[in-house]
Amino acid sequence: MGGATASADPGAHVAGEVPLGGRSAQIDVYSPAMGRVIQNKVIKAAGAGAPTLYLLTGAGGGADGISWWDNTDVRHFFADKFVNVVMPVGGAFTLYTDWISDDPGMGRVRWETYLTQELPGVIDGALGASGRNAIAGVSMSAASALDLAIQSGPRFSAVAALSGCPWAADPLGIAMASAQAVRGGGNPGNMWGFPGGPGWRAHDVFANAGRLAGKTIFLSAATGLPGPKDRGMPMPPIETLAGACTAAFAGRLGQLGIPAVHVHRPTGSHTWGQFEADLHEAWPHLAAAIG
């Protein structure tokens, strides 16, 4: 499980950097796969040789001002921790995957390539990172984080899925994943092809859960009942669904004999207060995996 510094895609490079105070910066990275520059909010570790946590946000992709950076204490929480935290901005309603076709509404979507092949090499080179990586997602990106951990082989040693709904290539899973694309003005057929076909099955995290073996896995969700950790506008129905989906995926891992930490909170209604608490609880597990 030893890490190795990633080699950057020859065309992927730092296109600019803007200080954001302290050890934080906006690092802009050119993505050859998407043919454009992607913003990334980054909290740098205090020195070279640190591992990296890739932290994905919800359906709006952070470009809407709703994100870990904007709505939680990530800068304070990670200030004394020896880790680089990278929070890409963008990817709204894309599921952070590679779409098989350019879409009239979404454009060219190659987030899987960016997050697994382009960005890690650039970050490792720019920050002198260790090559040991974890990935975490919340809400829409919780299932995406699991999918990315599956698709990218050894790239991520640990994954956290917070308040999301891991999908299967069954009618319910197809409907949920398609709804995200449609909300963004995209055609789900341009994402993974014909619904239920090979492209969808390749990204079915239930069917491919065995490929998570050997990784540290943290799953969390709540009941939807508002509680003391909530902060912001509660969305109980979404969290109730997330709780059921997350429990089902934890059960799938159990069937396969794959260890996972599963936190099912008695209260919590899909708010940033809940997500912040879940990230705090997930961090020791992720940290142990990436050193």
DSSP per position, the chain: ----PPPPPTT-EEEEEEE-STTEEEEEEEETTTTEEEEEEEE--SSSS--EEEE---TTTTTTS-SHHHHS-HHHHTTTSS-EEEEEE--TTSTTSB-SS-BTTTB--BHHHIIIIIHHHHHHHHHT--S-EEEEEETHHHHHHHHHHHHTGGG-SEEEEES-----SSHHHHHHHHHHHHHTT--THHHHSSTTSHHHHHT-TTTTGGGGTTSEEEEEEE-S---TT--SS--HHHHHHHHHHHHHHHHHHHHHT---EEEEESS--S-HHHHHHHHHHHHHHHHHHH-
Q: In the predicted model, what is the mean pLDDT of residues 18-25?
A: 97
pLDDT digits (tens, 9 = 90+) for 75-93: 999 999 999 999 999 999 9
CATH code for the domain defined by 21-290? 3.40.50.1820
* Mean predicted lDDT score pLDDT of the chain: 95
- pTM of structure: 0.95
pLDDT digits (tens, 9 = 90+) for 214-245: 999 999 999 999 999 999 899 999 999 999 99
pLDDT digits (tens, 9 = 90+) for 180-222: 999 999 999 999 999 999 999 999 999 999 999 999 999 999 9
What does the CA dihedral 259, 260, 261, 266 come to, rounded to 10 degrees? -120
The pLDDT of residue 10 is 63
Q: In the predicted model, what is the mean pLDDT of residues 123-145?
A: 98
The pLDDT of residue 232 is 87
Partners of residue 137 on adjacent β-strands: 161
How is the chain split into domains, by residue range? 21-290
Q: In the predicted model, what is the mean pLDDT of residues 143-161?
A: 98
